Amino acid sequence: MTNAADKIIVALDVATKEKALELVDQLRDQISFFKIGLQLYTAEGPEIVRAVLSAGAKVWLDLKLYDIPNTVARAVESAGHLGVHMLTIHLSGGSEMVQAATAARPNNMLLLGVTVLTSATEETLREIGVASKVDDQVLRLARLGVEAGIDGVVASPHEIEKLRAEFASRIKIVVQGIRPTWAEPGDQKRFTTPRQAIEAGADYIGIGRPITAHPQPSEVVAKILQELS
């Protein structure tokens, strides 16, 4: 695999185990990392994680955990037992919750803190009582996460440069809201192209619907890899 291929995580945002495994089978020769989010995990449970891992792929379990510290810690332990490579929690849960999560994670799993969702705008923040600008809130939550021992953060591509400037290589930066130039933005508000995200300093880029909704997913991946190279 090329370095570019190692940076791409395909989001299995589909409804069934059968469809997810079909995508993994189609893309496994091109991509090694896949994301399992709330839709698929809610439908199929931990068995879908085991199935994707059994196919020889890596798994990012994107559940965005947000609960009392003890509950989150126990969920982190369970994810570790499944063997996932990355897991997300919401940094908005506060330092006590994040510390409980980092203390419970196994050494071979990256714990990622979600800052501000890529669908959110400053108007969204106002609705929930946050007066900060999006960039400022992302940095505030990232600092909280780093101080609590987080391994990396999830943010939009627009915040990569500021995050990298502040934390350098101390954390992994994983971005969603990736849309190739030829793809529709959908419900993403803060997005860039794969090349822009990689050049800005992202360690991993998550791409979903532009690939999974296409009738020929492998052709889309090939096109993205060509653009990146």
Determine the Cα–Cα distance for residues 61 and 77; give it in Å rounded to an integer. 13
Strand partners, 103: none
Determine the Cα–Cα distance for residues 221 and 6; give it in Å rounded to an integer. 12
CATH topology of domain 3-228: TIM Barrel (3.20.20)
Strand partners, 155: 175
| pTM of the model as a whole | 0.90
Who has greater pLDDT, 202 or 183?
202
Q: Tell whether the model's pLDDT for residue 184 goes beyond 80.
A: no
| Pick from 2-11, 41-50, 190-199: least confident | 190-199
Confidence of residue 9 (pLDDT cuts 50, 70, 90): very high
Q: Is 64 a catalytic residue?
A: yes
At 56, list the tokens: 């020889």
The position carrying tokens 């189609």 is: 26
Exactly one of 7, 64, 172, 189 is catalytic; which is it? 64
